[in-house]
Chains A and B, each alone.
Chain A
Amino acid sequence: MKTKKKINRRSILYIPGNNPAMIQQGGVYGADGILLDLEDAVAPAQKDSARILVKNMIQLINFYDAEVIVRINHLSTPFGQTDLEQIVPLQPDALRLPKIESKQDVMDVLEVIEKIEKENKITDSKMKIHPMIETSVGVMNVFEIAGSSKRVDSISIGGQDLTADMGIIKTKDPTGLDYARKAVVMAAKANKIDAIDTVFADIEDMEGLREETIYAKMIGFSGKAVINPRQIEVIHDVYAPSEEEIRKAVRIIREFKKQKEKGVGVFAIDGKMIDAPIVARAQHVLDIANINIDELSSIKEN
């Protein structure tokens, strides 16, 4: 499997694990990550065939730069253990764990994962764990879940299951999920990991998707789940840095390089202190905008 870790998680494309045509095209749409789903998208009767398919496809298909994530079934189901046994040896970039409600839930899965890794002589695993918050208990425990392991570098909110658990209907109005979304984001921020927003279900409503993505970005989500490749463009557009942000980033990085040559680590632009985290954020903006500062001559700083 040829994949590499991406710094971006603006878009995570869900692909049913039992659909070979969609899996083989998973990497071509430009999504930052693809989630091969063995859980909700696959009917119980097809769990085995989906697992076999995913297992073979992640070894065969080039997903290019996309982060490859496999969503397994919960350990309490008849499928969870086998999913882990079959998928962990392949070491996809990450495993998505559904319906996590506590730190102990993560620990339980990790124990199985580490056992399988040991059996397979995998000593330096880079595979990450992405817990999914889909119940009200999970929301209440999200801080400890987000910090439960060094292998957790992203958490996500599953709106469909969560609204069902809360006994409310998922609508385009964000009010019902507002607390949960912000709790998930805050837990992620506190643990310096990513938070991924839930799917937008109406694939014909691009304006609605745009509005919800703007909201998700505004409250701090790193990105959003995607259920149709057509949604990627809108999400990336919302997450694209503005011209002003890019100009500012160019200025910071240029100044940083200049100061670095002089051996200065912290400096000021327009009287504001620029330190390492601000430089890192500026570089991130340029990465998203696909700008190589060394090849840049045409953009004026102001």
Chain B
Amino acid sequence: MKNAIGIELPEYIEGYGEVEAFKGAWKKLENEWMDSTRVAPANKAKMPHSSKMRGNLKEAILLSNPKDGMTVSFHHHLRGGDGVLIPTLMILKDMGIKDITLASSSLTSAHEELIPLIKDGTVTKIWSSGIRGKLGETISRGYLKYPAVIHSHGGRARAIRTGKLNIDLAIIAASASDKEGNATGAVGPSAFGSIGYAAIDAKYATQVIVVTDNIVDYPCLPMSIRQSYVDHVVNVEKIGDANKIASGTTRITKSPMDLRLAELAAYAIEHSGYFEEGFSFQVGAGGASLAVARFIRETMKKKNIKGSFMLGGVTSYVVEMLEEGLFNSVFDVQSFDAAVSKSLAQNTHHIEIPSTLYANPFNCGCMTNKLDIVVLGALEVDVNFNVNVITGSEGNIRGASGGHSDTASGAKLTVVVAPSFRGRIPIIKEKINNVVTPGESVDLLVTERGICVNPNHTGLEEKLKKSGLMIKDIKTLAIEVQDITGIPRQIKFKDKIVGIIEYRDGTVIDLIHEIDENEA
């Protein structure tokens, strides 16, 4: 069968199950009710005044009924500094546990030690919003037994609520916890800010272990994770490397190209008709997208415009805009540095939100649905505005779906910012390796060689033309880029499916195939 963007899909994939084809961004939701399966939080019991404190992580895991084929979940708020995921899996490996489904909200450079665990069959399935580096290369070469499932942040919450992703054991790293398991990422020496992605794991996992390096007096405030969900609490020396937890993606770029892209994007936003009093806004961290915030901040001051809320991954830059009164509030599902943690703990208008409230499509109003403007990046964009943020031009899994498709679908104005080519590799082209966000959700593509307006967004092109921006048909731009870079040879793939890209509603939008190295 073929899905709505023309990708051929099998009816069934071993290790994943029946495949439901993507039919369009809103097709599953347009009746405004859902009849999909649902699961309830686990029923648990605890005797009064009994202790949840365990001597070490291994002891807690042993009490959590470890077994072959189990699903173990993690959050990725510790980013590149995570010191919890790998030790947990090493303990499970030492216990001889096999066929683990690893369900981490994302995977980072801290997780390359997973590779031997994939090769020896300790981990045979992965659900994640992002996979990078050598780990991505390993999976792209077919070493994981079953295809990795790539989901969006909202899609992960949906998958847990519908029971498609059943968590046996949730390991929740926290920078502070009390002995009952009330826990947070907002305070403590390893503070990482919001713990938004873990909230749903705490609620739905059969067993929950909070791992912290900072046991505080009862109660731990803020109670981002509540004691009623937590089975065990473990005090360890360090949950990770604090320097790498603050990932450094929060500085405004000095790259002239990224700044130019950001300037153009901000100018386009200013003249789009959506930049008005009370607008809501989201930008990513790092690169051109964060730099857009810099230009928008200046324009807001110049034009005396005040926004409603900012959403999503929160940087200290966003916090500064909140403190300057440019926005009423910040909803924070994931934060990026220590300064953010301080704001989260102290500013009542800086609000920690769980991923289900952030972006789950199967509820009565996730916050991405209230977005006016979102600025997103891309690894590749095709002439139908479809965006790839998961595989590189060389075919390797090396990115993250993250909140890309969630925010793109919800926002009134979705702006994708990307250079038209990187090095000598075209980014805007006829055909891309994979699609994460369908073109129907993208309104504007901003490149240094012109701005492309999705013709489905009526009236937008006319408005932008008046602003004096260089508006270009996306096909014309693709040809212009091709004239500079030439056409790279297509990557050859084998038939084996190594990744399944789920759209946020649980349908399959694309498949990632094993790279054929003999042909590469």
B-binding residues in A (CB < 8 A): 24-25, 28-30, 60-62, 64, 228-230, 233, 290, 292, 295
> B254, B449, B466, B467: which contacts A28 (Cβ < 8 A)?
B449
Flag B250-280 by CB within 8 Å of A: 1 or 0 each: 0000101101100100000000000000000
Cβ–Cβ contact A229 & B480, under 8 A? no
Enumerate chain A residues within 8 angstroms of B484, measured Cβ to Cβ: 24, 60-61
Cβ–Cβ contact A233 & B263, under 8 A? yes
A228-B260 contact, Cβ under 8 Å, with A62-B480, A64-B470: no
In the assembled complex, the Cα of A24 lies from the Cα of B467 at a distance in Å of 26
Shortest C-beta distance, B493 to chain A (Å), equals 30
In the assembled complex, the Cα of A290 lies from the Cα of B468 at a distance in Å of 7
Flag B458-499 by CB within 8 Å of A: 1 or 0 each: 000000001110100000000010001000000000000000
In the assembled complex, the Cα of A24 lies from the Cα of B254 at a distance in Å of 19
A-binding residues in B (CB < 8 A): 254, 256-257, 259-260, 263, 448-449, 466-468, 470, 480, 484
A-B contact count (CB 8 A): 31
Enumerate chain B residues within 8 angstroms of A292, measured Cβ to Cβ: 466
A228-B466 contact, Cβ under 8 Å, with A28-B449, A61-B484, A233-B263: no
Cβ–Cβ contact A230 & B259, under 8 A? yes
Cβ–Cβ contact A295 & B256, under 8 A? no
Find the B residue at minimum CB distance from A289. Answer: B468
Cβ–Cβ contact B466 & A295, under 8 A? yes
In the assembled complex, the Cα of A28 lies from the Cα of B263 at a distance in Å of 12
Enumerate chain A residues within 8 angstroms of B470, measured Cβ to Cβ: 64
Enumerate chain B residues within 8 angstroms of A295, measured Cβ to Cβ: 466
Shortest C-beta distance, B288 to chain A (Å), equals 13
Enumerate chain B residues within 8 angstroms of A62, measured Cβ to Cβ: 449, 480
Enumerate chain B residues within 8 angstroms of A60, measured Cβ to Cβ: 484
Cβ–Cβ contact A28 & B448, under 8 A? yes
Enumerate chain A residues within 8 angstroms of B449, measured Cβ to Cβ: 28, 62
In the assembled complex, the Cα of A96 lies from the Cα of B68 at a distance in Å of 74
In the assembled complex, the Cα of A41 lies from the Cα of B375 at a distance in Å of 37
Q: List 10 A-B contacts (CB under 8 A).
A: A28-B257, A28-B260, A29-B448, A30-B260, A62-B449, A62-B480, A229-B260, A233-B259, A233-B263, A290-B468
> A61, A64, A228, A290: which contacts B256 (Cβ < 8 A)?
A228
In the assembled complex, the Cα of A35 lies from the Cα of B125 at a distance in Å of 55
Enumerate chain A residues within 8 angstroms of B467, measured Cβ to Cβ: 290
Enumerate chain A residues within 8 angstroms of B468, measured Cβ to Cβ: 290
Enumerate chain B residues within 8 angstroms of A28, measured Cβ to Cβ: 257, 260, 448-449
Find the B residue at minimum CB distance from A22. Answer: B256
In the assembled complex, the Cα of A25 lies from the Cα of B261 at a distance in Å of 12
In the assembled complex, the Cα of A233 lies from the Cα of B257 at a distance in Å of 13
In the assembled complex, the Cα of A28 lies from the Cα of B449 at a distance in Å of 6
Q: Can you add 11 more A-B contacts, CB < 8 Å, to A61-B484, A233-B259?
A: A24-B484, A25-B257, A28-B257, A28-B260, A28-B449, A29-B256, A29-B448, A30-B263, A229-B257, A230-B254, A233-B263
Shortest C-beta distance, B492 to chain A (Å), equals 29
In the assembled complex, the Cα of A255 lies from the Cα of B358 at a distance in Å of 54
Find the A residue at minimum CB distance from B485. Answer: A24
In the assembled complex, the Cα of A60 lies from the Cα of B483 at a distance in Å of 9
Shortest C-beta distance, A2 to chain B (Å), equals 11
In the assembled complex, the Cα of A61 lies from the Cα of B254 at a distance in Å of 25
Cβ–Cβ contact A230 & B256, under 8 A? yes
In the assembled complex, the Cα of A292 lies from the Cα of B254 at a distance in Å of 33
Cβ–Cβ contact A229 & B466, under 8 A? no
Find the A residue at minimum CB distance from B484. Answer: A24
In the assembled complex, the Cα of A233 lies from the Cα of B260 at a distance in Å of 9
Enumerate chain A residues within 8 angstroms of B259, measured Cβ to Cβ: 229-230, 233
Cβ–Cβ contact B260 & A29, under 8 A? yes
Find the A residue at minimum CB distance from B421. Answer: A24
In the assembled complex, the Cα of A64 lies from the Cα of B260 at a distance in Å of 15
Shortest C-beta distance, A203 to chain B (Å), equals 9
Shortest C-beta distance, A213 to chain B (Å), equals 17
Find the A residue at minimum CB distance from B256. Answer: A229
Shortest C-beta distance, A27 to chain B (Å), equals 8
Find the B residue at minimum CB distance from A292. Answer: B466
Nearest 4 A-B pairs (CB), nearest first? A229-B256, A28-B448, A290-B468, A29-B260
Find the B residue at minimum CB distance from A62. Answer: B480
Shortest C-beta distance, B262 to chain A (Å), equals 10
Find the B residue at minimum CB distance from A237. Answer: B298
Enumerate chain B residues within 8 angstroms of A29, measured Cβ to Cβ: 256, 260, 448
Enumerate chain A residues within 8 angstroms of B448, measured Cβ to Cβ: 25, 28-29
Find the A residue at minimum CB distance from B257. Answer: A25
